[in-house]
Structure 1
């Protein structure tokens, strides 16, 4: 590799950020976080208001360092919810790798938010493992955006899934996502109501930026696992509070974050109840994951160790390429 910072175009980032590579990288990242090897700063969040004061977009900055690595990572990711109406993707961003030895910038990954989307999808796959689900007859997905589609595709690719049910506020968007899933060989259908989806699903993944609960306690049957992804900032909430208190198990990527600005914010849930996904993945390597008879909830707020792991895996793959030597 030559001196100076390298700028990696979007197309090259996408080429190496394959599902298999990112899932395994994030698995290692979660376990490194659980072992205390990763140092990460508090997440910075900037919210943008639109017409009438409604939330129009978010910018998140995360940074961290795995002590086993020679790099530290700074990630900027944005989500602007009305972008698709203007022909633009809702997600964007970039990732910067810097030397942990000299502080020099090493590489700028022009990922346009893809690594954030991919590492979040990978977390959903790993959450289904940590929750102890061996077979998924029906996967329910709340939402119709980028993350909804990725969760459906990646979980179906890595786990045994018979069919996918999709619910969205806009029936047309739900129908389009179902059509796209069918075109890729996944059996899928639209659920007209959240309650219909909930009563039929073994695993439910929530991916919306909702500020009011969508998934109600009365609709969820025992034995269901829920992966909550959408609540990643103060005020956001997708799950009924009664459902949180009913859960037999609550698993988090980072308990402090989940209690501060994840699904568990202002819930009154005792921190002592919470399990870490990284610790469960470490245990499952030797003992296998266990499944609760009641409801299991996995709250994913997104942590820097995922960004560190995904960026390093991609940079390592690029560094091994003849084109980058």
Structure 2
């Protein structure tokens, strides 16, 4: 009768049984220290031995204890990110790109939201730091003063995404949002539009939205125009609020012939309301957006918008932190190019548009 060999098991904090590092070492014919070195410092063991240990880990289903590993290498291989919301499709797209890159580098993404509230963001950052993040990705450069002090005191590198501000000491990766606002507005003035309105995103604690609005205003001024208060509205990134803003604009006796929208979601709401009111786009009114979300090219009419390199921005943010944490050279400020994508939602101003 063959002897029964019992597998060694360890208990996790909840008391559940799991495969321990001793079983991996026994089956691979090495010491537990060798298994640990193979996991935490792969280059310290031969490729053949590393492959044997990896095969054994797969066979027995061993999952390394992250907290124990962090004590050994003083790193958790966890990157935190705080975004305003996950309702915005652009954030979801960027986070997916970031997650893909971090996974390829054996890093974990830990996510929190702040709803554009700097106090909430500070609290969330403290929570992430308490959970051992190695680095942090923040949206924009408007943050609580205590947040930067916290990260500096804890020696946690961070990077601001969505903005490019080389004159500041904090790492930034993004586009020139003011230049993008000027570009899309110049497109409209070049088509002969003189009555141009804007449905902007809420400006509070949103430096990207502020920069876009500033760029639109600058382009209007260089064309000899001004931004009329009754033609400048702010809304959240919601279809219903965008539709309400469009209804207000299109209900005016001297309604605009073109509308610049703070992002594509706002533009979708403006397009929907124009269709409901019987205002053909672009024959009666031209509409432009920002971000170039996937739906924008499939709409009828397809949306003219500013293409933002969202995937690349977030991936490069991940690269910056991973390289910095590894002691590799990393560019502190990186500007990525936007592009104007002209589609069907813009056309020359109507006869009375000048």
TM range (shorter): 0.3 to 0.5
Greater fraction helix? 2
Higher relative contact order (CA 8 A, sep 6+): 1
Q: TM-score, normalised by structure 1?
A: 0.36
